[in-house]
Amino acid sequence: MAKRGYHHGNLRQALVDAALELITDKGPTGFTLSEAAKQAGVTPAAVYRHFEGREDLIAEAARQGYEIFADLMEYAYQSGQPSALAAFEATGRAYLAFARRHPGHYIAMFESGISVNRTAGLAAAAQRSKDVLEQAAADLSQHIPADKRPPASMFSAHVWAMSHGVVELFARNAPGRVSPFPPEDLLETGIGIYLRGLGLVPPDG
C-alpha cells in the first residue's frame, strides 16, 4: 500500500482514510492509533496534532459518513419526485446501498459506540440525514387522512429501523447467516406491507 502523509498535504484526511480501512477490516475497537499512523505513513506522534485519540478519529470518520449518507438520501429522495411514494421507497434503497458501498463509514456511524453528539459537526451531519428521511415521510403522509396520520418522525423512524434491521441481519455478510431472500426484496416488501397498512398502497399493489 502506498504511503500517505505530509507530501500529500492532507494528513488529517489520510488518517481518516486509514482508519476507515482498519475499521472495515478489524472493527472500530480492533486497531490502535499507531496502526492508523503507520497505514497513513506518518509517526504516531503526528496523529495527535489532529486527533486527541482513537475515538476522535472514529468520530470524524462517522461525520464524513453521515455527510455521504445524507447526500445519497437526498439524491434518492429527489430522484423519486414528483411521486412521494417513489421518493420514499428510494430513500430506503439508498440506505441499503450506502451500507454496502461504505462499510467503514457505516460501522463508524452505527457500530462504534460513538455518540452522534460527540462533536457539533457530527451532530449536524447526523441530523441532516435524519431530516431527509423525515421530509420524505412528511410528503408521503399528506396522502393519509389527518386523523389517521402518524407523526412524520414516527413514520420515518419505523422505516429507518426496518432498513437498519435488514442491513444488520442480512446485508452485512455475517458469518453463518444467510438471507432467505435478497435484502432488497426484504426491504421493499417490508416497506410495502407497512405502507399498505397505512392505506398508502392499494391492497393488490
Q: One digit per residue, pLDDT tens: the chain, 205 residues?
A: 444 444 445 889 999 999 999 999 999 989 988 999 999 988 888 888 889 889 999 999 999 999 999 999 888 888 877 787 887 788 888 888 999 899 999 999 999 999 999 999 999 999 999 998 888 888 888 888 888 888 888 988 988 899 889 888 887 766 666 778 888 888 888 888 888 888 776 665 4
> What pLDDT sits at residue 7?
46
The angle formed by the CA atoms of residues 151, 152 and 153, to the nearest 5 degrees, is 90
Q: How many residues does the chain have?
A: 205
The angle formed by the CA atoms of residues 179, 133 and 78, to the nearest 5 degrees, is 100
Q: Residue 202 falls within a domain, yes or no?
A: no
Q: Residue 204 falls within a domain, yes or no?
A: no
> What pLDDT sits at residue 13?
93
Same domain, yes or no, for 96 and 188? yes
Bond into 103 cis (ω within 30): no
**Contact between 27 and 16 (Cβ < 8 Å):** no
Same domain, yes or no, for 79 and 153? yes
Cα 35 to Cα 30: distance, rounded to the nearest angstrom: 10
Q: Residue 187 falls within a domain, yes or no?
A: yes
All cell numbers assigned to 6: 505530509
> What pLDDT sits at residue 180?
80
Q: Residue 134 falls within a domain, yes or no?
A: yes
Quickly tell me which residue has 440506505 as its cell. 95
Same domain, yes or no, for 38 and 113? no
Same domain, yes or no, for 98 and 192? yes
**Contact between 15 and 43 (Cβ < 8 Å):** no
Same domain, yes or no, for 19 and 98? no
Q: Residue 104 falls within a domain, yes or no?
A: yes
Same domain, yes or no, for 184 and 108? yes
Same domain, yes or no, for 157 and 114? yes
CA distances from 85 to 57, 80, 137, 147, 187 (A): 38, 8, 9, 20, 15
> What pLDDT sits at residue 48?
86
Q: Is 192 exposed, middle or buried (0-12, 13-18, 19+ CB in 10 A)?
A: middle
Q: Which domain holds residue 42?
A: 1-51
CA distances from 102 to 17, 44, 160 (A): 12, 26, 17
Q: Residue 88 falls within a domain, yes or no?
A: yes
Same domain, yes or no, for 130 and 76? yes
Which of 15, 30, 51 is the C-terminal boundary of a domain?
Answer: 51
All cell numbers assigned to 120: 457539533
Q: Which amino acid is at 14?
A: A
Which of 34, 51, 68 is the C-terminal boundary of a domain?
Answer: 51
Same domain, yes or no, for 99 and 160? yes
Domain count, the chain: 2
CATH number, domain of 91, equals 1.10.357.10
Same domain, yes or no, for 72 and 43? no
